[in-house]
């Protein structure tokens, strides 16, 4: 009697357990419908058109309009937020940082303008308007805005294909300004319509590391033109063409004065950098070394009249503030499509570089950068820049680091820098008449080592071999072909990598972790125990689709039908194949067809197929295709339940 | 005392539980290294070069060589397996099926040869050698081998670009035979080196449905040439060009005799099909209707001498068996690259079509098709076919269905068919002199409705909208551009779809299923309960990479920082963000960088980040990047453990 009662109890518990399992299986099968493709598209479109949709909670209130305007203004112009807490201490720090920044920025700007094949003053113009606008709209406190090396290289390698800068400098400048305008438009669009932002993400971290390193080497080689005084330099940027041009001119004619002058000041700048690294208090020494070099070399040339002995000098720099340039933008140009494309590429590179700089300093100081607002700020500063004779400005690696170590507090340091540049433009341009070009080259060269990052490349190699492939693809592409080929190579390798990983037709066998109900990959967790009668398989990719479904099916069939020999227990006969679907984000018609075939093939071999934990899209499609019914309802929430249910049923049948 | 003992016990259990959790976390962190990229590449290369590596277990034995040879021969020539169990009943069935097949095959072969712009006898040749070789090497019992409509269309639309079939029929034929040779080589290679087989998978089920439907309509329009007796037809295959050509010629001149003849016999064939469907015993009626039409129409033309009144007739068909054609293969042709490309496309389409046919009948009868052996068989039959004046043969939809309903048992029915065609070639070709071309067009037209499958297209639309896009891409591409554009459109849409799904930057929130320790998507399982203090997030894609990492990070930050209002409990404050990584197959440098930023951003907001169940590749990379250490070890095996550990620690701290 008592034993019968226990049996009944046991039976009841068993029944209860079964009911619970059945209920859970119903949860899987009766999930609500996922949002349709149409609905998802509409949702993303709405988010794109109304990105600030949820940000206007005040509109329901009385006098809500005013509050809304204020909140929008505060979002668009972060300066309104931070300038309320501004004080004298911060001003002192920003003043110091801004002046240090200006001393580095003036010679660099002139150098980068010549790199971009523009007159020197355009570099200075670009250090005036964009920093002022960024200070009002940007969210980073440490970034230093102005012309940078990589963007200048992009300009000088892409725009001359459309217009020769030497034969027709004004037409060339007009195209550069138009490119700047397009770059600004694209950047603002990336920020305002967030779905466009995915274009910025096309360049992965690895791609940028490779691209910037390659570009730095290319820029370095371009400086040979200034150091060696090469008259007929090549317009191509790849290493081989440039080396040939250098080789030719070295054999032909070169003036050692330029070379000696450049190398001496390059050594001086590098020396100050070592001193600055040794003694942190002397941080201003490397930062002001370029300006010191300019002053010393200019004096030297002026006193010795070395320009008469072949030392090339800047000569005339136009005095005065940025002239307006709206009339210079050319939208009727026959190359307008090419110009827009260049603008897009420059926009993406500039944003990626600036965001990387901004984020790294923000994470050191522990504040957040608003990615979208940054893009809007960059966009506006370049659009307005193109109206005021500026070419594309962005955040500079080297100057932001100087700004940071000089102790800047807010974007006010950019304002200080811009004002200093304005004063220089008004007063000091004549003093730069005798500045030797070789020193500008030395200043640019001294900024390049910071762009080449072998440590990062090694780190990428160590962590992710395929990402390293993207990195060297960009690197060698830039070095041996052109900047565009380098970028294209990186993007293509990146996407091929995604496809390969996504449709990789791998499978892994799962086993139960001892003492738990958790099933894991037996290779990742060697302590996991395989089931002797159930083959538990998980697909090693997020998709079961035309490209891998057939392969996966064949592999599972092979696995299930080949008798696996266990050393201890002799042969293992599989009775149930359980397919854990928890990985699968989606499935397509070919995937469903393969599952059906797998089920039929297994059934003809006397085995059963069960599936567990299908995701929303997957179970929805399986339901639409009536697969769940064709499976005989062997759909479970967890692997454990599937094992219990299937093997239990088999036992009962025996 | 007693209560203290209980407390101690409770404490011990708690400690034990904690130890177990710590142990499990160590399992996650100390997983062995996954195989390196290099190792994986070598493994796949080895499998490719030695695909049968594991199939030779006998080689270790004595007289193992003999057994190995036998097993290889049996694998290569399945006929050795099935012919041992062959008996009189099977022969009787195969004989009946083979004869029925031949009666359909002869008129269809002639028609498809004219569609491929070859002389009629080449269609008959193609129904001799390939079926014989397939019977020896193939693994399907029901498939009927010979020329098919879609492949003939591919030939007639791609090869004429290289050589004009009307101006230079011999050169055209040579190129067709060379294409056949290449198709065979590719097919054999797909079968022998299984990694090449992925090329076959590039065309998804949906793409094939769309492509074949479009091709059927194009083929139907091509038949207007025969029905309307159009002298100057277009070489293009798109609907618009063909309609224009028809329109022009209808206005210009057309002979109603051809049209009336063709339409009458088309009606007759369609009528017999209805009768056959009504009465299953009359299955032979639709199968033999084409032959009956040919015989009747030939007699009619012969008796009335209608050819003198403008009815076009086949005229001379060369008598005798396949002539050798090795000398016709042209490997020095300047178009050899184009020919090889056409061969590849034809090889893929032919295999995909035949495999679909073979699999569907195999699954009805419950046997398995060996995909690789099939490709090898197709390859050899086309290579040897190209040596014996055959063009590309494959499995035909319509004839395989007839073969199946006629009750075939083995591939012997193909041998019977081939022998019948041989006899016809030797004896009856002269009888086909007066066969009107319009009847051939009618026979081809009658086979087309089986290729257009609106039900399947609707099914695809119902289950998978994006797959439907692939389907209509192929359909409209074939219809309005060309067969190549159609295929290209399908492949490109398919891969863009994979990329979109793989890098979709979606996230889902998880909740605990009541009464379990399982955490599931709260949208898929509405009964799941969100944790009030922990935000549990899963990424909705298999990859966290450059293309989606930043977006995902921003989304999680927004989710974590926006105070969510719960109707019942008021505001919810998130203390811990748990990222369930069980979906993620892989992560790249950008993904790791985003996770680090997420962790820093959350930390500056006073929140903690924990990750659970990282897959092998993911935890390996996170370890290499020292992320696990930077996380402070908050890596767990399950979400439940993460919730307990993190919230427990927070509680203890309070």
> What angle in degrees, to the nearest 10, is found between the helix axes of A437-447 and A205-228?
160
Mean pLDDT lowest for which of A73-77, B1-5, B603-607? B1-5
Rounded-to-integer distance, Cα B289 and Cα B299, Å: 15
CB contact under 8 A, B601 and A368: yes
CATH of the domain at B606: 3.30.750.24
Distances (CA, A) of A632 to A628, B355, B492: 7, 27, 36
Same domain (yes/no): B510, B447: no
Interface probe, candidates B453, B524, B622, chain A, greatest A C-beta count within 10 A: B524
Q: Residue B23: inside a domain, yes or no?
A: no
Angle of CA points A206, A212, A218, to nearest 5°: 140
CB contacts of A621 in chain B (<8 Å) are: 463-464
In a domain, B39, yes or no: no
Q: Are residues A478 and A582 in the same domain?
A: no
Residue B49 pLDDT class (50, 70, 90 cuts): low
Among the candidates A453, A469, A497, a domain finishes at A497
Q: Which residues of B25-42 are buried (b: 16+ CB within 10 A; e: fewer)?
A: bebbbebeebeeeeeeee
**Which of B463, B550, B613 is the best substitution to test chain A (most A C-beta atoms within 10 A)?**
B463
A509 and A403 in one domain?
no
Q: Where on the phi/psi map is residue B239: left (φ > 0), alpha (ψ -120 to 50), or beta?
A: alpha
CB contacts of A590 in chain B (<8 Å) are 201, 204-206
Residue A503: partners with Cβ closer than 8 Å, 6 or more residues away: A541, A543, A545, A547, A548, B498
For residue A442, is it within any domain?
Answer: yes
Tens of pLDDT, residue by residue over A101-119, are 998 899 999 999 989 999 9
Tell me which chain A residues have a C-beta less than 8 angstroms from the C-beta of B371.
Answer: 550, 554
| Phi and psi based region of residue A146 (left: phi greater than 0; alpha: psi -120 to 50; beta: remaining) | left
Whether residues B105 and B233 share a domain: the answer is yes
Using the beta-carbon criterion (under 8 Å), do A363 and B504 form an inter-chain contact?
no
d(Cα A281, Cα A270) in Å, to the nearest integer? 17
Q: Where are the alpha helices (DSSP H) in A116-168?
A: 120-126, 129-137, 149-158
Q: How far apart are the first and last CA of chain B?
A: 29
Structural domain tally of chain B? Answer: 2
| Residue in A460, A503, A554 closest to B589 by CB | A460
Report the C-alpha gap between A510 and A374 in whole angstroms.
Answer: 46
For chain A, the straight-line distance linking the first and the last C-alpha, in angstroms and rounded, comes to 28
Partner residues linked to A510 by β-bridges: A521
A463/B624 touch (CB, cutoff 8 Å), yes or no: yes
Q: ipTM greater than 0.90, yes or no?
A: no
Q: What is the C-alpha to C-alpha distance for residues B194 and B181, in angstroms, rounded to an integer?
A: 20
Residue A135 clears pLDDT 80, i.e. is over it: yes
Separation CA B550–CA A194 (nearest Å): 12
A365 in a structural domain:
yes
Has residue B58 been placed in a domain?
Answer: no
Q: Are residues A217 and A310 in the same domain?
A: yes
Burial of B272 (0-12, 13-18, 19+ CB in 10 A): buried
Domain that holds residue B507: 503-653
Closest CA to B157 of B211, B121, B196: B211
- In a domain, residue B310? The reply is yes
Residue B70 included in any domain: no
Evaluate if residue A492 carries a pLDDT over 60: yes
**CB contacts, 8 Å: B202 with chain A:** 546-547
- The tens digit of pLDDT for each residue in B198-253 reads 777 778 888 888 998 998 998 888 888 878 777 677 777 788 888 888 888 777 76
pLDDT of residue B60: 53
**Is B615 in contact with A521 (Cβ distance < 8 A)?**
yes
d(CA B654, CA B649): 9
Residues 6+ apart with CB under 8 A from B446: B266, B269, B270, B273, B289, B290
Reduced to 3 states (helix: H, G, I; strand: E, B; else coil), residue A635 is strand
Query: A566 and A429 in one domain?
Result: no
pLDDT at A16 over 80: no
Please indicate, yes or no, whether residues A476 and A562 belong to a single structural domain of this protein.
no
- My answer on whether B560 and B456 are in the same domain is no
Note whether A229 and A254 are same-domain residues: yes
pLDDT tens per residue across span A209-223: 899 899 899 888 888
All residues of chain A having their beta carbon less than 8 Å from the beta carbon of residue B31 are: 524-525
- The whole-model pTM stands at 0.80
Are B511 and B492 contained in the same domain? no
What percent of chain A stands above pLDDT 70?
Answer: 91
Q: What is the arithmetic mean of pLDDT over A225-229?
A: 78
Answer whether B321's CB lies under 8 Å from B425's CB: yes
- Evaluated on CA atoms B353, B354, B357, B358, the torsion sign reads negative
Whole-number pLDDT of residue B61: 56
What pLDDT is recorded for position B7? 57
- pLDDT above 90 covers what percent of chain A? 25
* Chain A: closest CA distance from residue B27 (Å): 7
- Using CB atoms, pick whichever of B371, B543, B625 lies closest to residue A501: B543
- Chains A & B: contacts with CB separation below 8 Å: 219
Give the E-state strand segments of B540-595 in sequence order. 543-544, 564-566, 570-572, 576-580, 586-587
Q: Are B208 and B353 spatial neighbours (Cβ–Cβ below 8 Å)?
A: yes
Q: If pLDDT is split at 50, 70 and 90, which confidence band does A53 have?
A: very low
**Confidence bin at A51 (pLDDT 50/70/90):** very low
Most A CBs within 10 Å, among B355, B368, B469, B585, to test the A interface: B585
Q: Give the domain-ending residue among A443, A463, A497.
A: A497
Residue A40 belongs to a domain: no
Instruction: Based on the fold, state whether residues B471 and B523 are members of the same structural domain.
Output: no
Last residue of a domain, one of B433, B467, B497: B497
| Residues B512 and B579 reside in one and the same domain | yes
Distance in Å, alpha carbon of B266 to nearest chain A alpha carbon:
35
Q: Cβ separation of B359 and A36 shorter than 8 Å?
A: no
List the single residue in A516, A542, A593 with the smallest CB-CB distance to B583. A542
Instruction: Indicate yes or no: CB of A206 within 8 angstroms of CB of B590.
Output: yes
3-state secondary structure of A564: strand
Strand-pair category, A519-521 with A507-512: antiparallel
Cα distance from A248 to chain B (closest Cα, Å)? Answer: 41
Residue A46: pLDDT over 90: no
Point out the least confidently predicted range of A33-37, A308-312, A611-615.
Answer: A33-37
Q: Residue B51: pLDDT band by 50, 70, 90 thresholds?
A: very low
H or E segment and range at residue B535: strand B534-539
Q: What are the chain A neighbours of B369 within 8 Å (beta carbons)?
A: none
Cβ–Cβ below 8 Å for B20 and A464: no
């Amino acid at each position: 009697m008592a034993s019968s009662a226990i049996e009944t109890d046991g039976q009841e518990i068993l029944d209860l357990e079964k009911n619970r399992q059945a209920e859970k299986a119903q949860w899987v099968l009766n999930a609500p419908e996922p949002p349709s493709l149409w609905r998802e598209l509409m949702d993303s479109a709405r988010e794109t058109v109304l990105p600030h949709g949820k940000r206007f909670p005040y509109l329901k209130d009385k006098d809500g309009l005013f509050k809304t305007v204020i909140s929008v203004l505060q979002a668009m112009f972060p300066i309104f937020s931070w300038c309320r807490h501004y004080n004298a201490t911060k001003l002192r720090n920003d003043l110091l940082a801004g002046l240090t920044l200006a001393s580095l920025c003036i010679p660099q700007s002139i150098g980068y303008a010549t790199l971009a094949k523009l007159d020197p003053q355009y570099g200075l113009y670009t250090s005036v308007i964009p920093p002022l606008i960024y200070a009002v709209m940007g969210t980073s406190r440490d970034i230093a805005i102005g012309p940078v090396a990589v963007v200048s290289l992009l300009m000088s390698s892409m725009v001359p294909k459309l217009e020769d800068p030497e034969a027709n400098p004004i037409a060339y400048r007009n195209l550069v300004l138009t490119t700047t305008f397009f770059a600004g438009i694209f950047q603002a669009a990336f920020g305002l319509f967030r779905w466009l932002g995915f274009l910025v993400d096309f360049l992965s971290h690895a791609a940028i590391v490779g691209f910037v390193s390659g570009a730095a080497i290319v820029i370095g080689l371009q400086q040979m033109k200034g150091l060696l005084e090469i008259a007929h330099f090549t317009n191509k940027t790849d290493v081989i063409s440039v080396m040939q041009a250098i080789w030719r001119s070295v054999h032909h004619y070169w003036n050692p004065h330029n070379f000696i002058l450049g190398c001496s000041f390059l050594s001086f700048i590098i020396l100050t950098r070592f001193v600055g690294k040794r003694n942190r208090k002397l941080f201003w020494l490397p930062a002001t070394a370029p300006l010191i070099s300019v002053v010393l070399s200019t004096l030297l040339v002026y006193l010795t009249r070395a320009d008469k002995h072949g030392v090339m000098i800047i000569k005339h720099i136009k005095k005065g503030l940025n002239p307006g340039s709206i009339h210079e933008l050319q939208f009727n140009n026959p190359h307008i499509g090419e110009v827009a494309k260049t603008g897009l590429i420059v926009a993406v590179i500039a944003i990626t570089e600036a965001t990387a700089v901004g984020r790294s300093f923000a994470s050191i100081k522990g504040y957040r950068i608003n990615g979208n607002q940054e893009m809007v700020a960059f966009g506006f500063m370049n659009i307005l820049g193109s109206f005021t004779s500026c070419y594309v400005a962005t955040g500079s690696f080297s100057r932001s680091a100087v700004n940071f170590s000089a102790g800047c507090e807010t974007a006010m340091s950019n304002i200080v820098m811009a004002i200093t540049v304005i004063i220089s433009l008004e007063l000091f341009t004549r003093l730069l008449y005798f500045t030797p070009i070789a020193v500008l080259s030395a200043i640019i060269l001294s900024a390049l080592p910071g762009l080449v990052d072998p440590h990062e490349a090694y780190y990428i190699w160590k962590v992710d071999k395929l990402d390293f492939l993207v990195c060297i693809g960009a690197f060698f592409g830039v070095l041996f072909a052109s900047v565009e080929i380098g970028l294209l190579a990186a993007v293509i390798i990146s996407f091929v990598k995604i496809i390969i990983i996504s449709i990789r037709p791998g499978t892994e066998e799962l086993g139960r972790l001892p003492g738990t109900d958790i099933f894991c990959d037996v290779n990742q967790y060697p302590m996991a125990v395989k089931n002797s009668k159930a083959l538990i398989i998980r697909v090693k990719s997020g998709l079961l689709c035309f490209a891998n479904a057939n392969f996966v099916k064949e592999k599972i069939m092979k696995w299930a039908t080949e008798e696996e020999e266990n050393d201890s227990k002799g042969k293992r006969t599989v009775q149930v194949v359980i397919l854990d679907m928890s990985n699968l984000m989606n499935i397509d018609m070919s995937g469903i067809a393969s599952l059906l075939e797998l089920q039929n093939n297994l059934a003809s071999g006397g085995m059963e197929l069960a599936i567990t934990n299908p995701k929303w899209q997957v179970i929805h499609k399986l339901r639409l295709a009536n697969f769940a019914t064709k499976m005989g309802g062997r759909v479970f929430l967890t692997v454990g339940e599937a094992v219990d249910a299937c093997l239990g049923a088999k036992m009962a049948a025996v």
